[in-house]
Each structure stands twice: as C-alpha cells, then as structure tokens.
C-alpha cells in the first residue's frame, strides 16, 4: 500500500504535495513525509500518525523548493515511527516507496559488510543505500537507477530525488500503480489519477518493469533493459470524482446513504428497464460457452463474490469456485480451458487479486473484472470489464462498493442464465423488475431504520464479541456484517452459516453474547428460526434482522427485531446490507473510533 506523489514544479511544491497526499490517504495513514531540493540540498519533514501531524510540522517549519516527493505510509517493515517514515535519505538520495523489496535483507547484509550503516528498519532504505553506493562508485544518476532496479526484486512503485539533479524525479514501477501527469511547464507523479486530479487530467500509466525520468518538459520512459518506450497518454476522468463529505459526519455515512443513487447508475448500465431484460451488450463474456467460473477477490469484494456464487449456480447453473485471492494464487488449481475467471475489486489494484488474475491469464482463461476504478491495473489487464459505477469510495470500510458489486453480479448471473437458457424470459423479466425496484426500497429502508440502528448500536458498543448468523446468501452477508463491525469498531465478531452453529460457535453463547440473525422469509427461513431457538435456549441475546413476513412468522423473543420490507430473494442481500452497515457504523461512532480510517487498515492493499 502506501501512497506516493512527486512534482517537478515551476513554484514551491510542499503544500501541493501534501494536498495530493490527502487524496492518497486511503492507501495508508500511519506516517507521512515530504522531501524537496533547495540550493542543491535535500530537505525533508516527516511525522508519525495522520497527515494532519505532517501539516502541523510543515506549518511550524515550512519546506521550500520547486521539486519534491512525498509519501503516506502503511507500515510493512518497521514500526510506524518518524524514523521509519519516508522519504528515506542516504548521501544525497531521497526515496519514497510503495510495495515490498523482497530481497532487502540480502542486500542490506551485503551493504553493511561493505561498511554501510542503516538508520531505519524499513526494506525501502536499501534502495536509497544502493543508489548512493552506485553514485559513490562513479555512476551517473540514470545508470545508478537502472543498476539498482536490476538488483532489487519484489513489488515497488518508487520515486527518487538526487540532490545534484534539481530538475529531475526518477520513478519506477513493478507491481503497485504509478501514474505520470502532464502540466504546463510542470510534471507530476502519483499512485493514482485522483491524487493528481487538481493538477492535470492528462495521464500516462507506467506498466510493470517501466522506469521514468521526469523533468519540467516531460517524461522519458524506459523498459527494464533501459530501452526508450512510449506509453499512451490518456485523459483521466478522476477530476469528476473530487469528493467531500457533504453534510455527513464521515465518508462512510455518506457512502451508505449514496447507495440508492449509485445502484441506479449501475443498473442503468446492465439492465434494459423498458424491456425488463439484461443488456446483452454489457455482458462481454460469452457465458453460454463457459463450463465453470473461477471467482476470486479479497475482503469485502470476496464476500460479494460468495453471494455471486449462489446466484451463478442457481440462475445460470454454472459451477463456481470462489476463493480468497491470497489462497487462489498459490493453490495450483487445475483450471479447465473452458472456464472463465471473474475478479472482483473495488480499487482494481489489490496485489493478491491481480496476481490471481495473471495466473488465470497465463492458463489461457477468459478474464472478467468487476471493478470500481476503471483505470485500474485489474481493469486494464482484463478481457471484459464490468464497472460497478459506485463513484469514489473513501471510507476504508466498503459499503456502496459492496452493494454495487452485488447488483452487478446479480445482473451478470441473470444475464448468464439467459445466455445459457437456464432461466426463461419470463423469469428474467421478473428478476429484472425486482432489481429495478431496489433503489426505491433502499431509500425507504435508509429513511426509516436509522434511529433503531443507532439505539441498537449503543447496546452493541458495550459488548466484546458478536456472532452473525445466516443461511444461503445471508451467510456471506453474516460474514460481511462481522467484518464491517470488527474493521471499524474493533469489537470481535464472527459470521457463521447458521447451520454450523451447533458445530462450534454455540459453545460461546451466553447472556453476554449478542447473536445477529439475518433471516429474510426465504426458502431457509424455518431452518434459521430453529437455529435461533438453539441460541434462545442458551440465553443468547438475539438481534433479528428479518422482513415483514419473517417478523410475523417468528414467535421468538428477541433483544431487538429489525423489520425490513418483503423483497424478492434476488435483492435481499442488497437490502439486508443496509442494517448491517448502519449497525457497524453507529457502533463505531459510539466507540469513538476513527470510522473512515480505522487502525492498521488501508483501503487499497498493493502488497501480499
């Protein structure tokens, strides 16, 4: 993770660098730093903690200079201290890095044996030390850069300053994304186009193995062997996505309430609302010729994929293998050439998901990507891109991206069913009509359940453990509910298939343990109610999230019952996501945590 940015400017850059870092803070926020060159000397300011601390420091001790690089960190090697914060300096070389230098320990030992002394615990410092050593050996900066890149292995996006090159930033990419931006007499570098959005919308993405030299006039890009290469310049749409919290306390709250609107956009792309059919031109994968689907993702996106698995199997009769990407990539899965692979990622940059994608590509599979960021690496490397159209999601805990992913997966599963002849046109019409109703029902639910969720959250904030249960598509939703709660409130929570209750988690149940049961009145309802009986019999406190039919049918005493409208099974996961999101949100607010930037997490995880 980590965010990096650089400016070769025609005026002072420190303030603009910090401004760009703010838009990259979703990538990490445990420390930050800026370096500039002034009168042939490198200078830096660094601070532990949120960017605010760096801003305070810069306010007290401003940093001059028309060229600079900056970094916001998510620690991998070395604690999140000021000493370990980037930029790292060694003898006139400054480096910021996103990724992991995998052979750092071997290089470090070698450099120490040759007399170097290290001042940080980071893997990144070896980059600065190697460059400084090559310069001492008499290499020009460009040669030093290329030699260093041939020595290091692993994942990196790098930006480098040399104190004696006051007009130049060098950059390199192997793994994590890096975008070059074009200004008027200025050049920019950033981990994504949103970071650069106020400065320019003309962007070139470096591809893996590229490195680049930026000066005020432009950029020269080289491949790993040092050959000059051309990469396309494109107009980024990121500027349209500049965001603020509006009237909301947190981005997460704003994003929860945006869901009806963004889902309408997504549906508009996939659904023909006049004919009540799926837009076949939005499908882009020939599902009729596919025999199975390999589905892979991380975190919340993976849980959306698990819901999708139920749908593809039910409506398209398509067998689905669903895996977390960190396992998928190393599992040596025997993949049939007639399989398609589907990757789900909000950011489109998650390292494990990208590696799984490349594995499937090497195996010759057709690749589809359900992504939010259309300019992302995962989108660029896929054969078919299915945008979720959620707009920028800033809160680290995913909400609107999750329900947009679900909506797109539902549309794809119905479309696949249509292509494979496993659902009739009447059934397609019926399902699409339900999808089309979703934004209206979501608005209604959001307008009514908030006070109840808030008072329930007050109770939940006093607990140390919470169990979520569900069957069918409500099972992945139970896991998502637990994930959301633990991510932002730090309360321990687990999501279980309700049928598994008796195989372990039932041992945890006592009068202190709230059990949140997600149970629309669907095919599994009676069975879930039996599991609730088992909880009640052991004194467990039940929070029952159901619909009107479910509430009428269940005679059980609960700590609280949240009643949602009766909806069709195809949209229940999206509608039932709303109470679990609000419950986690309000619990975190009561706990006083940093809702949008919870501890230890980052929104985009570009390391393994």
| Smallest distance from ligand G6P to CB 460, Å | 20
Considering the complex, state which of residue 128 and residue 388 has its C-beta at the smaller distance from ligand G6P: 388
| Smallest distance from ligand G6P to CB 26, Å | 9
The strand pairing partners of 576, in sequence order, are: none
List of residues 6+ apart from 380 with CB closer than 8 A: 205
Name the residue with the smallest CB distance to ligand G6P: 299
| Smallest distance from ligand G6P to CB 17, Å | 25
Rounded CA separation 287/342 (Å): 12
Q: What is the number of other CB atoms lying within 10 angstroms of the CB of residue 121? A: 13
Residues 272-311 that bind ligand G6P (CB under 6 A): 298-301
Buried b (16+ CB within 10 A) or exposed e, 547-574: beebbeebeeebebbbbbebbbbbbbbb
Tokens 């819901």 correspond to what residue?
307
252 is a site residue for ligand G6P (CB under 6 A): no
Angle between helices 572-591 and 474-489 in degrees, nearest 10: 20
Determine which one of 400, 484, 486, 603 is catalytic: 603
Q: How many residues bind ligand G6P (CB under 6 A)?
A: 15
165 and 42 in contact (C-beta within 8 Å)?
no
Considering the complex, state which of residue 34 and residue 306 has its C-beta at the smaller distance from ligand G6P: 306
Torsion sign over Cα 286, 291, 294, 295: positive
Considering the complex, state which of residue 134 and residue 468 has its C-beta at the smaller distance from ligand G6P: 468
Is 463 catalytic? The answer is no
Token couple for 341: 């692979």
407 is a site residue for ligand G6P (CB under 6 A): no
Is 2 catalytic? The answer is yes
Distances 463 to 185, 245, 460, 494 between C-alpha atoms, Å: 57, 29, 5, 13
174 is a site residue for ligand G6P (CB under 6 A): no
Considering the complex, state which of residue 55 and residue 255 has its C-beta at the smaller distance from ligand G6P: 255
> Which range in 175-183, 308-316, 333-341, 599-607 contacts ligand G6P by CB under 6 A?
599-607
Token couple for 123: 């893997």
Considering the complex, state which of residue 304 and residue 467 has its C-beta at the smaller distance from ligand G6P: 304
Of 98, 346, 597, 606, the one binding ligand G6P (CB under 6 A) is 346
| One character per residue 353-392, x = contact with ligand G6P (rule: CB under 6 A) | x---------------------------------------
DSSP 581: H
Considering the complex, state which of residue 212 and residue 396 has its C-beta at the smaller distance from ligand G6P: 396
| Smallest distance from ligand G6P to CB 258, Å | 16
Determine which one of 2, 298, 360, 404 is catalytic: 2
φ, ψ of residue 316 to 5 degrees: the values are -110, 0
Rounded CA separation 81/209 (Å): 30
Residues 35-94 that bind ligand G6P (CB under 6 A): none
| Antiparallel, parallel or unpaired: β 218-222 and 228-229 | antiparallel
Helix then strand then coil, in percent of the chain rounded to 5, is 40, 25, 35
Considering the complex, state which of residue 535 and residue 602 has its C-beta at the smaller distance from ligand G6P: 602
The strand pairing partners of 544, in sequence order, are: 517, 561
- 302, 300, 342: which is closest to 319 by C-alpha? 342
| Smallest distance from ligand G6P to CB 402, Å | 8
| One character per residue 449-468, x = contact with ligand G6P (rule: CB under 6 A) | --------------------
| One character per residue 462-501, x = contact with ligand G6P (rule: CB under 6 A) | ----------------------------------------
Q: What is the number of other CB atoms lying within 10 angstroms of the CB of residue 323? A: 18
| Smallest distance from ligand G6P to CB 378, Å | 8
List of residues 6+ apart from 184 with CB closer than 8 A: none
Q: What length is written for the chain?
A: 608
Of 90, 129, 356, 398, the one binding ligand G6P (CB under 6 A) is 398
| Smallest distance from ligand G6P to CB 343, Å | 8
- HSE, CB side, 13 Å, CA atoms: give it for residue 359: 23
| Smallest distance from ligand G6P to CB 458, Å | 25
Residues designated as active site:
2, 603
Residues binding ligand G6P (CB under 6 A): 298-301, 345-347, 350, 353, 396, 398, 601, 603-605
């Amino acid at each position: 993770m980590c965010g990096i940015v650089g400016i070769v400017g025609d005026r002072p850059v420190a303030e603009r660098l910090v401004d760009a870092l703010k838009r990259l803070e979703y990538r990490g926020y445990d420390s930050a730093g800026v370096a500039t060159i002034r009168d042939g000397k490198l200078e830096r300011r660094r601070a532990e903690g949120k960017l605010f601390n760096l801003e305070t420091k810069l306010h007290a001790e401003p940093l001059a200079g028309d060229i600079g690089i900056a970094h916001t960190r998510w620690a991998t090697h070395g604690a999140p201290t000021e000493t370990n914060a980037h930029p790292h300096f060694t003898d006139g070389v400054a480096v910021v890095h996103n990724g992991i230098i995998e052979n750092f320990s071997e290089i470090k030992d070698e450099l120490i044996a040759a007399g170097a002394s290290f001042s940080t615990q980071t893997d990144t410092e070896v980059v600065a030390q190697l460059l400084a050593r090559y310069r001492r050996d008499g290499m020009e900066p460009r040669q030093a850069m290329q030699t260093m890149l041939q020595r290091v292995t692993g994942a990196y996006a790098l930006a480098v300053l040399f104190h004696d090159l006051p007009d130049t930033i060098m950059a390199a990419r192997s793994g994590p994304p890096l975008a070059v931006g074009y200004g008027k007499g200025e050049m920019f570098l950033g981990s994504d186009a949103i970071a650069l959005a106020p400065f320019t919308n003309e962007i070139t993405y470096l591809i893996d193995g590229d490195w680049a030299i930026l000066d005020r006039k432009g950029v020269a890009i080289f491949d790993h062997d040092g050959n000059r290469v051309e990469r396309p310049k494109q107009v980024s749409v990121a500027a349209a996505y500049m965001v603020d919290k509006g009237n909301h306390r947190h981005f997460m709250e704003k994003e929860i309430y945006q869901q009806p609107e963004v889902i309408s956009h997504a549906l508009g792309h996939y659904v023909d609302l006049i004919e009540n059919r799926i837009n076949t031109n939005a499908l882009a994968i020939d599902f009729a010729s596919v025999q199975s689907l390999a589905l892979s993702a991380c975190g919340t996106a993976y849980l959306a994929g698990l819901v999708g698995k139920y749908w593809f199997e039910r409506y398209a009769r398509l067998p689905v293998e669903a895996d977390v990407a960190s396992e998928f990539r190393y599992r040596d899965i025997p993949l049939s050439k007639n399989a398609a692979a589907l990757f789900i990622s909000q950011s489109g940059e998650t390292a494990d998901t990208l590696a799984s994608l490349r594995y499937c590509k090497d195996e010759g599979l057709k690749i589809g990507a359900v992504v939010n960021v259309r300019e992302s690496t995962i989108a660029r490397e896929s054969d078919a891109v299915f945008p979720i159209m959620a707009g920028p999601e800033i809160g680290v805990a995913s909400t609107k991206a999750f329900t947009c992913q679900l909506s797109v997966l539902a549309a794809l599963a119905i479309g696949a069913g249509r292509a494979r002849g496993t659902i009739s046109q009447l059934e397609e019409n019926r399902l699409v009509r339900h999808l089309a109703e979703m934004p209206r029902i979501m608005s209604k639910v959001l307008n009514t359940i908030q006070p109840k969720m808030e008072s329930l959250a007050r109770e939940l904030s006093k607990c140390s453990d919470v169990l979520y249960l569900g069957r069918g598509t409500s099972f992945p939703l139970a896991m998502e509910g637990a994930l959301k709660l633990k991510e932002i409130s730090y309360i321990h929570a687990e999501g279980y298939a309700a049928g598994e209750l008796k195989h372990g988690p039932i041992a945890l149940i006592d009068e202190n343990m709230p059990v949140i049961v997600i149970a629309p009145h669907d095919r599994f309802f009676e069975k879930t109610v039996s599991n609730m009986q088992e909880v009640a019999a052991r004194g467990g406190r039940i929070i029952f999230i159901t619909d009107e039919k479910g509430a009428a049918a269940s005679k059980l005493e609960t700590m609280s019952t949240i009643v949602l409208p009766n909806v069709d099974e195809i949209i229940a996961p999206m509608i039932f996501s709303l109470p679990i999101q609000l419950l986690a949100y309000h619990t975190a607010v009561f706990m006083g945590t940093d809702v949008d930037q919870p501890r230890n997490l980052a929104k985009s995880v570009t390391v393994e």
